[in-house]
Structure 1
Amino acid sequence: MRQIVLDTETTGLEAHLGHRLVEIGAVEMIGRRPTGRHFHTYLNPQRAIDAEASAVTGIKDADLVDKPLFREKVDEFLDFIRGAELIIHNAAFDVGFINAELKLAGEHYGTVTDHATVLDTLLMARTMYPGQRNSLDALCKRLGVDNTRRDLHGGLLDAQLLAEVYVAMTSGQVTLDFASDAASENRGPSHLGDIVITRRPVVRRADDVELERHAKRLDALDKSAGGQSIWRKLESETVH
């Protein structure tokens, strides 16, 4: 299965108020493993970046003056995502901005879901970890994903981190059988606007590499907890 983990950066928070994309980062996975292929571009938004957005991303107006317009990159972008499942954290935000850009580029480009399906890891996380913080940084900490390079938000770096988070969330028993609760009522995809969130219950056996990574992740969780973490206790109870 081909999956594209995607993140964007923008001039502000509201696409319907004319805010635009300034960066797209996307990495390809096949069989839940990164292939090394990625799509990354900065974009000239043809408007100023809000001060708050610039503080988060570190991107300044002057950095984007010589960058391409979205319409100059749209075909390359759509070729990269076509036929894949897009994995996005808070997908409604990113997809909303991309759809706004597609509309400006030309009505014939349609919307994101004309080219790919979308899985929202924020909705997954809220189901798996109810009542907890489920930002990308919080998930990195919870799942033992190293995000020490993330001083500022960046499309490609965040996509790479989200890929690791997604694999951790959906590996072995840590998934807590996310799809099973809804399976009896809804075997098909769920919908959020024009976003299709695919949910597929999968039984997947870990290989030696994944088992080693799992053990290291539990070690990191133990260290963070200052003793045996709840995940280590649950694993011990399962084994014994």
Structure 2
Amino acid sequence: MRQIVLDTETTGIDPKKGHRLIEVGCIEIEDLLPTGKTFHHYFNPERLIEPDAIRVHGITDEMVADKPKFADLAQAFIDFVGDAPIIAHNASFDRGFINMELERLGLDPTDPDRWVDTLELARYKFPGMANSLDALCKRYNISLAERDKHGALLDARLLAGVYLELSGGKERGLDLKMHGMVSEDGTEIRVMNHGQRPRPLPSHIHPEEAEAHKAFCLKYLKDQNMWGYTAS
């Protein structure tokens, strides 16, 4: 199934108070695995960015002054997302900003039923625990080494890994390396994990322990074949 993992950065926290999008990062996943297709752009919000927001994502007014407006790329965003379900962490926040920008242009907002909130999934799975994106990455051993500040595409990539884990784990063999993916300033974005576990897992039993176990089974167990042993 095709899904879109999405993250946004904004000028503030409330679209109803006139705050705007300044960055959108989307990653396409198919059956929970990234396909390599992305949508990532910075936008000129046509207003100042609040200092508290800058402290979170590090995006300044000067950095987006020459960027396109959301209106210039709205159709490209709609085409990329298509009718796929949208995965986001604290989805009501991202949905509020996306829908506000679409409605400003007279376009249909996204249906709330399309959105999957990983924060709600995490709270159900880990009640009473910290369930921020950072906390979940640490819990699932997803590296945050490349994450100095929030960034929409990088956070979407991290969230794709978290969503995989919340949906059943690395048994699907997700490779979180971002081969060939770069941010708009040309910097390569990489998220690393330790790869898929080998199968079967290597044994850590000492040879003497293995022989002792075999001797015990042959002496005391009636069903010796249960352990794969047969008397000589």
What TM-score results when the alignment is normalised by the length of structure 1? Answer: 0.71
**In the alignment, what sits opposite 2:97?**
97
Matched residues in 2 for 1:84 and 1:7: separation?
Answer: 15
Partner AA of 1:131 in structure 2: G
2:108 to 97, 106, 110: 110
**In the alignment, what sits opposite 2:34?**
34
Matched residues in 1 for 2:122 and 2:14: separation?
Answer: 24
**In the alignment, what sits opposite 2:122?**
125
Q: Deviations over 1:53-86 (max 9, x none)?
A: 0111110101111111111110000001111111
State whether residues 70 and 105 of structure 1, in contact with CA within 8 Å, keep that contact through their aligned partners in structure 2. no
Q: Which aligned segments of 4 or more residues in structure 1 are displaced greater than 6 angstroms?
A: none
Matched residues in 1 for 2:110 and 2:17: separation?
Answer: 20
**In structure 1, the residue corresponding to 2:135 is in which secondary structure?**
helix
1:119, distance to aligned residue in structure 2 (A): 0.4
**Alignment of 1:157 onto 2:123:** no
1:147, distance to aligned residue in structure 2 (A): 1.2
Q: How does 1:30-179 map to 2 (within 5 A)?
A: 30-106=30-106, 109-113=107-111, 117-171=114-168
1:169, distance to aligned residue in structure 2 (A): 1.4
**In structure 1, the residue corresponding to 2:138 is in which secondary structure?**
helix
**Bigger Cα Rg:** 2
Q: Deviations over 1:105-136 (max 9, x none)?
A: 11xx111128x811000000000000001000
Considering only aligned residues, what root-mean-square deviation do their CA atoms show, in Å? 1.9
What TM-score results when the alignment is normalised by the length of structure 2? Answer: 0.73
Matched residues in 1 for 2:197 and 2:2: separation?
Answer: 27
What is the number of residues matched between the two proteins? 179
State whether residues 150 and 157 of structure 1, in contact with CA within 8 Å, keep that contact through their aligned partners in structure 2. yes
Q: Deviations over 1:136-166 (max 9, x none)?
A: 0000000111111111000000000000111
**In structure 2, the residue corresponding to 1:24 is in which secondary structure?**
strand
**In structure 2, the residue corresponding to 1:162 is in which secondary structure?**
helix
**In structure 2, the residue corresponding to 1:36 is in which secondary structure?**
strand
1:93, distance to aligned residue in structure 2 (A): 0.2
Q: How does 1:191-230 map to 2 (within 5 A)?
A: 206=171, 209=173, 213=195, 215=197
**In structure 2, the residue corresponding to 1:66 is in which secondary structure?**
coil
Percentage identity across paired residues of the two chains = 47
**In the alignment, what sits opposite 2:23?**
23
* Gapped regions of structure 2 (runs ≥ 5): 175-193, 199-232
1:33, distance to aligned residue in structure 2 (A): 1.1
Matched residues in 1 for 2:116 and 2:195: separation?
Answer: 24
* Gapped regions of structure 1 (runs ≥ 5): 175-205, 217-240
Matched residues in 2 for 1:134 and 1:215: separation?
Answer: 25
Matched residues in 2 for 1:111 and 1:103: separation?
Answer: 6
1:14, distance to aligned residue in structure 2 (A): 0.7
